Structure 1
Amino acid sequence: MVCAKFSRHPAETAEAYLTQGVWQQDTLCDLLDAWAEKTPDRVFVREVSGRHFTFGELSTVSRKFANALLDLGLKKGDVVAIQLPSSIEFVIAYFGVLRMGGILATMHMPYEENELRSLLEFSGAKAAICAPADDRRDRPAVMDKLRNELPDLKHVIVARGDVDGDQFHRMADMIAKASLDDIADPPSASDGALLCFTSGTSSAPKAVIHACETLLADARAYITTIDGRQDDHSMIAPPFTHIFGLECVNNALTVGSSIVPMDQFTPQAFADMLERQKPTIVYGAPAHLAATLRDNQLEGRDLSSIRHVILGGALCAPSVAREFEDHLPNGKIGILFGMTESLLVTQTDYDSSPQERHGTVGKPVTGIDVRIVDADGAPLGPGVEGALQLHGFTIMAGYLGNDAANEKAFTNDGWFDCGDTAMWDDHGNVVITGRSIDVINRGGVKINPSDIEAAISEHPDIIQVALVPMPDYVLGEKICAALTMRPGTSISVEDLSAFLADRKIAKMRRPEHVVIVDEMPMTPTKKIIKSLLCKQLFPTE
C-alpha cells in the first residue's frame, strides 16, 4: 500500500521549517473550521448554477462525510481515490477525506479503465469516489469492475445523482446518515494528505504525496505574493484533479475568500464565467485563453471585475497574453511556475512591465530558493540558459516507491532538478526556455524549440504551435511544426520560414515540415502532449 511509503522530510529539515514558521501545525480542516467559526455564513464555493456552500456548511458536511468514511471501515492513512469534475462534491470529498486522516488520490476525468487500474493498484486505494453515469461513460460500472479485480479497493462512492445497485454508496446518503462527532484520531499537519501523479499511468508512475505542511505553507506564501484578499472571488479553470486547481482552492482558504470552479472547459463557458461570475482573480492555462480568443468569445463582454489573470501549466505566447489583456479594462495577466513536486513557486509582479509579466514566470515566492546551473552545477548569470533547480519548504520529500526517479530528480546537495531549461533576465525574473526532453537533435545540433514556438505564435493566423522531432534518415531528426489555425486559414512551410526569417530565426532552426491539425492532444491541464503528438504524426511500425 502506497501510504506506507510516504516519508516526511528529514527530521532536521522539518524542524528548521517549523522553527522558521513557514511550516505550521494546523491542517486544512483546522483552517476551514476557523473560518466557519469567524464567518459561518460567508460563501466559500459557488457553482455556475448558483448552488453554493458557506464555510459553516462545508465544515459541517465535510465532518459528516469524514465520519461516513470511517463508518465504512476506512481508517487514518488509507487512500481514497477521486475522479470527479471540479464541483461542490469534490470540495466536500477533499475536506472529508483529509478530516478523517485519509490521503486523497486524484485521477483525471479523461482516464479510462486501463489508466485507472494502474493508478488504483499503485495507490492501494480502499475507496473510489466517482461521477454518476452519463451518455458517454458509466463510471460507476468501471469502478465496480475494478473493485472486483483489485484486492485493496473495497468501496465505490457515487458523488451525485442516483445509481442502481447495492454495491454502490451514494455520497448524499452517506452524509445524511452520518454523525457530527469529532474525529477520534484526527490527522496532524505532517501526515500525508494529497496524492497526485505527475506522469505515467503504467509500470512506474511518478507519484507525490504532500502533507498539509507543504500545501498550506505554499498557499500562505503564494497568496501574499499576489496580494490575495478576503473579498476576492477566484475563478478556477484548472481541474481539481490537478495540484494547480487544488492549490488555488487552498489559496482562497488561507484568506477566507470565495471560489467558483469550472467543471468542463469550452471557450463559450469560459467567457460566460468571466462575465457572469464577476471574478476578481482568474486562474487558468494559456490554452484556455488561446481557444477563447480563437472563437472571438470576448467581444462586447463586461470583464471589469477582473483584477488578475494568473496562468500556469505551460508556456504562454506573449501575443496571446497581450491580446487577452486588451479585453481587461481593470486587469492584468501574470504567469506563475509550479509543479506537482514543488507546488506554486514563482509569480510575476503585478506592477512589472508587460514584457516581464508575459515573457517570464517572475520571481521566487518568499522562502523558495531558485538557481540556474550549467552542466557542472555552477550557477549562471542573466541571459545564459541552464538547468532550473529548486530548494525550499514546498518541495516534495520524494517520489513514492521510485528510487530511480528520485536519484535523477535530486542533486547531491539536495536541490530538486525540474527538468526545465531556464535563464535569468536582467530584473531577476526566471525565463523558462523549454523542457530538456523537448530538445530536438538535428544532426548533432541540439535545438531548444521554445523561442521558435514563441515566434511562430506571433503569426495572426496561428492559434497553437508545437515543434516536434521528425525522423530523418540523414540527420536523425528534423523540425516539424504542428499547427492549429484560425478557421479558413493555412500556411506553407515556405511562408512560415519567411515569417521566421523576418524575426531573425536562423535557417537551421526553422521548421522543415508543417502539419496542420484540427486539435492538439492535451493533458487535462491543457498542456500539449508532444510525445502523443509525435506518435500521431509519425507512427512507427
Structure 2
Amino acid sequence: MLEGFVPFPPEFARRYRERGYWQDRSLAQEFAQAFARHAGKVALVDGDRCYTYADLDRLSDNLALHLLALGLKPLDRVVPTLPNVAEFVILYFALQKIGAIPIAALVTHRYQEISQFVRLSQARCCVYPVSQGDFAFGPVVDRIQHENDCLRLRLVLGPAGPGEHSLPELIETPAPGDRAALRDIRIDPEDPCIFQLSGGTTGIPKLIPRTNNDYAYNSKVASEVTRVDGSSVLLLVLPIAHNLPLACPGIQGFLLNGAKVVLHANTRPAEMFALIEKHRVTHLKVVPALLIRLINDPDIGRHDLSSLRLIQSGGQRMQPEVRSRTRRLIPSALVQENFGMSEGVLMFVRHDDPEDVMMETCGRPVCPDDEIKLIDDEGREVGPGEVGELSCRGPYTLRGYFGVPEYNARQFTPDGFYRSGDLMRQHPSGNYIVEGRKKDLINRGGEKISAEEIENLILMHPAVQNVACVPMPDPDMGERMCACVVLRAGASLTLPELVDFLKAREIAKFKLPERLEVLDDFPVSTFGKVSKKSLAEMVASRAAAA
C-alpha cells in the first residue's frame, strides 16, 4: 500500500462490494471493456483530429510501453499541466494502464503550485506544454527538478528540449515491447488511480486520493443521473483535469458508455455555439459564470442549439433567473444544478424534480449509501431545516487526505465522516440548499482560492502590516477577491503594484486580487479576531457604490 494513503475500513469496503458499488476492477480494466465494445465508434474529437475507441486504446497502449521503458512503474506519481487536448486523454489512459497516479494539476498553475505538487506527492514525472501565452514551462520545471531529486522524467507537449521527451512523439512512435505485457501489470482496485486537489484553506493544497473502485463508481452513477448513453455527445471546455469534467460523469462516464467527447481549449461563446451545432452536442458542462456569459452573448440566436439535452452546472450556486433565462433561450435543455466535491459526495437535481425544487436546491446524493449529516460546531446534528456543516461518508468519499495525518484528525469525525466546511440546510423535498461555507475560500468562477495562501504572500510585501482577503460579489464570476490591507507607517500601495509583486511569486493568474482596500485598521469580532464578515460587507457596499 502507498505510504500516506488512508484506505476504506474493511467493513465498509465489504459493504460496498456486496451492494455492487465496487466491482474490484482497475480503471484500466473498466475501459478495456469499453474500448473493445465500441472499437469502431468515434470517442474523441479535438479540432480536426478524430479518434475512435480503438485509436485511444492503441495509442495509450503505445505510450504506456514507452513510459515503462522510461522507468515509470505502478504507484509512481505524475504531474500533468496540460490544456484540453487529446494528448491529455491518451496520457491519462496510459497512466491507468501502468498503474501510475496523475495529480490533477491545471495548465494555469505555475511554479508555486507545481513545485508543491511535486514535493507533496514525490512525483517522478512532469508533463507540460512548451508554453501558455507568454509563460514558458520548461525553465520552471527545470528549476523544480533541480530542487526535487524525485523528479526524473519530463515530457513536453511539443518538440523536446534538453532533458525532455516529446509527448506527441512517444504517442506516435512505435514503442519497444509487446502490448500484451501491459495485461500482466497487477493494479489493486483499492489503490489510488488519481490525486485530485482540495480547495483547502491552507497555503498548501491537499492531495485527494481517489481509488480505482470508487472513481469508476463515481462516473457510472453520475452517468445514470445525467442520462448518458451511446448517443450522447459532450462538449468539454472546463479545465480537463478537474473532477467535474473528468469524472462526474465527464470523460470517464461518457467513454464508459460508448459516447463521444468533443474537446475545446477556450470558452469563447461563438466557438462553443459552432461546436454544439456541428457535433450535435447533447451535454454541456458549465460553471454559472460561463453560462451567464453564454446566454448573454448575441451569437446565441444564430446557431442551432436544439441538440442540447442537459446543461450541467457546478462549482457554485446558480441564481434561479439564470436557469429561467437559459430555459427560454435553449428550451430543449434541462439546466441540472449539482453540488460536488473532489473529495467525493455528489448531489444532483433530478429530471423529475418539481419546478420549485429545481430552482431552489443543488440536488440530493446520487447513491443510497451516501451518508449525510448536517452538524454544528460541536459535531451534533442540527434540526430539520436548520443550517449545519455538511459531513459525509460513502462508497466514493475519501477517508483521508494523502500524507497529512494531523490534518485528517481535524477534518474527519471519529466514525469517518468528512467535514466539508460547506454550510447547508435540507429542503422539505429532501434535496439540499447551499448556504455558504465555513472554509475561508473565494470561489472565483468555480476555482476555489485559499485566502490564507494569498494572505501569506501579501504579508511578504514590505509595505504591508496586515492583510485579509475576502470575496466580493460579481455578476459574472460569482465572487472575486479583494485584498484588504493595513499598511506600515508612511507606506503606500496600489493594486497594480500588489499584482506585480504577487506575479513575481509565480502563482496562478486566477489567484490574483482584483480589488485593493487600504484601511487604517480591521474590524474585529467579540473574540478579538479579524471580522472577515464585516470586511466582506464593507467591500460589497463600496463596490456597489463605485
User: Do both share a fold (TM > 0.5)?
Assistant: yes
Partner residue, 1:347: 348
Question: Is the contact between residue 81 and residue 128 of structure 2 (CA under 8 Å) also seen in structure 1?
Answer: yes
- Out of 254, 260, 267, the position equivalent to 2:256 is 254
Partner residue, 1:95: 93
Q: Counterparts in 2 of 1:22-171, with a 5 A limit?
A: 22-47=21-46, 49-133=47-131, 135-159=133-157, 161-165=158-162, 167-171=163-167
The secondary structure found in structure 1 opposite 2:425 is: strand
Partner residue, 2:464: none
Q: Is residue 336 from structure 1 mapped to residue 335 from structure 2 by the alignment?
A: no
Distance in 2 of aligned mates of 1:226 and 1:172: 33
Question: Is the contact between residue 198 and residue 207 of structure 1 (CA under 8 Å) also seen in structure 2?
Answer: yes
The secondary structure found in structure 2 opposite 1:5 is: coil
Q: Is residue 177 from structure 1 mapped to residue 212 from structure 2 by the alignment?
A: no
Q: Counterparts in 2 of 1:293-304, with a 5 A limit?
A: 293-304=295-306
TM-aligned CA deviation for residue 303 of structure 1: 1.0
Distance in 2 of aligned mates of 1:235 and 1:242: 15
State the AA in 1 paired with 2:295. L
TM-aligned CA deviation for residue 162 of structure 1: 2.1
Partner residue, 1:527: none
TM-aligned CA deviation for residue 200 of structure 1: 6.1
Q: Counterparts in 2 of 1:424-439, with a 5 A limit?
A: 424-437=426-439
Question: Is the contact between residue 119 and residue 202 of structure 1 (CA under 8 Å) also seen in structure 2?
Answer: no
TM-aligned CA deviation for residue 7 of structure 1: 3.3
State the AA in 1 paired with 2:170. M
Q: Counterparts in 2 of 1:448-527, with a 5 A limit?
A: 462-466=475-479, 477=531, 511-514=540-543
Alignment CA distance shift 1:135-1:188 (3 Å): same
State the AA in 2 paired with 1:217. Y
Distance in 1 of aligned mates of 2:357 and 2:117: 39
Alignment CA distance shift 1:437-1:164 (3 Å): closer
Distance in 2 of aligned mates of 1:413 and 1:140: 45
The secondary structure found in structure 2 opposite 1:62 is: helix
Query: Mean Cα displacement is larger for which, 24-33 or 2-11?
Result: 2-11
Partner residue, 1:232: 232
Alignment CA distance shift 1:465-1:114 (3 Å): closer
State the AA in 2 paired with 1:271. F
The secondary structure found in structure 2 opposite 1:326 is: helix
TM-aligned CA deviation for residue 65 of structure 1: 1.0
State the AA in 2 paired with 1:348. V
TM-aligned CA deviation for residue 376 of structure 1: 4.2
TM-aligned CA deviation for residue 50 of structure 1: 3.1
Question: Is the contact between residue 73 and residue 100 of structure 2 (CA under 8 Å) also seen in structure 1?
Answer: yes
Q: So what's the TM-score if we normalise by structure 2?
A: 0.79
- Out of 305, 311, 321, the position equivalent to 1:319 is 321
Alignment CA distance shift 1:516-1:219 (3 Å): farther
Distance in 2 of aligned mates of 1:429 and 1:509: 33
Distance in 1 of aligned mates of 2:252 and 2:269: 26
Alpha-carbon displacement from aligned partner over 1:103-160 (angstroms, at most 9, x marks no partner): 111211111122211211111111111112355122233223322332011111113x
Alignment CA distance shift 1:188-1:412 (3 Å): closer
Distance in 2 of aligned mates of 1:274 and 1:228: 17
Alpha-carbon displacement from aligned partner over 1:75-112 (angstroms, at most 9, x marks no partner): 11111110101221000110101111101112111111
Question: Is the contact between residue 194 and residue 211 of structure 1 (CA under 8 Å) also seen in structure 2?
Answer: yes
Alignment CA distance shift 1:27-1:211 (3 Å): same
Alpha-carbon displacement from aligned partner over 1:216-270 (angstroms, at most 9, x marks no partner): 1111122112222111111223212212221111111332211112322233333
Alignment CA distance shift 1:326-1:400 (3 Å): same
Distance in 1 of aligned mates of 2:533 and 2:170: 55
Alpha-carbon displacement from aligned partner over 1:447-481 (angstroms, at most 9, x marks no partner): xx99x96xxx8xxxx44554989776566548689
Query: Mean Cα displacement is larger for which, 396-405 or 293-302?
Result: 293-302
TM-aligned CA deviation for residue 319 of structure 1: 1.6
State the AA in 1 paired with 2:58. T
**Any stretches of 5+ residues in structure 2 without a counterpart?**
443-469, 485-518, 526-530
State the AA in 2 paired with 1:190. E
TM-aligned CA deviation for residue 305 of structure 1: 0.3
Distance in 1 of aligned mates of 2:303 and 2:50: 25
Partner residue, 2:11: 12
**Any stretches of 5+ residues in structure 1 without a counterpart?**
441-448, 483-507, 518-541
Alignment CA distance shift 1:511-1:164 (3 Å): closer
Alpha-carbon displacement from aligned partner over 1:27-62 (angstroms, at most 9, x marks no partner): 222122212222211111112x13121111111111
Structure 1 vs Structure 2 CA RMSD: 2.9
The secondary structure found in structure 1 opposite 2:303 is: coil
Question: Is the contact between residue 140 and residue 156 of structure 1 (CA under 8 Å) also seen in structure 2?
Answer: no
Distance in 2 of aligned mates of 1:34 and 1:393: 23
Alignment CA distance shift 1:358-1:260 (3 Å): farther
Partner residue, 1:218: 218
Alignment CA distance shift 1:437-1:191 (3 Å): closer
Question: Is the contact between residue 468 and residue 479 of structure 1 (CA under 8 Å) also seen in structure 2?
Answer: no
TM-aligned CA deviation for residue 510 of structure 1: 11
State the AA in 1 paired with 2:118. L
Question: Is the contact between residue 399 and residue 416 of structure 2 (CA under 8 Å) also seen in structure 1?
Answer: no
Q: Counterparts in 2 of 1:346-495, with a 5 A limit?
A: 346-367=347-368, 368-437=370-439, 462-466=475-479, 477=531
Question: Is the contact between residue 79 and residue 105 of structure 1 (CA under 8 Å) also seen in structure 2?
Answer: yes
Query: Mean Cα displacement is larger for which, 6-15 or 53-62?
Result: 6-15
Query: Mean Cα displacement is larger for which, 324-333 or 93-102?
Result: 324-333
Q: So what's the TM-score if we normalise by structure 1?
A: 0.80
TM-aligned CA deviation for residue 381 of structure 1: 4.6
The secondary structure found in structure 2 opposite 1:338 is: strand
Question: Is the contact between residue 194 and residue 209 of structure 2 (CA under 8 Å) also seen in structure 1?
Answer: yes
TM-aligned CA deviation for residue 315 of structure 1: 1.4
Distance in 1 of aligned mates of 2:541 and 2:129: 45
State the AA in 1 paired with 2:166. R
Distance in 2 of aligned mates of 1:14 and 1:478: 41
Structure with bigger RCO (C-alpha 8 Å, 6+ apart): 2
The secondary structure found in structure 2 opposite 1:4 is: coil
State the AA in 2 paired with 1:389. S
TM-aligned CA deviation for residue 181 of structure 1: 3.3
Distance in 2 of aligned mates of 1:426 and 1:328: 29
Question: Is the contact between residue 284 and residue 310 of structure 1 (CA under 8 Å) also seen in structure 2?
Answer: yes
TM-aligned CA deviation for residue 271 of structure 1: 3.3
State the AA in 2 paired with 1:51. R
Partner residue, 1:537: none
Alignment CA distance shift 1:516-1:186 (3 Å): farther
The secondary structure found in structure 1 opposite 2:102 is: strand
Question: Is the contact between residue 523 and residue 535 of structure 2 (CA under 8 Å) also seen in structure 1?
Answer: no
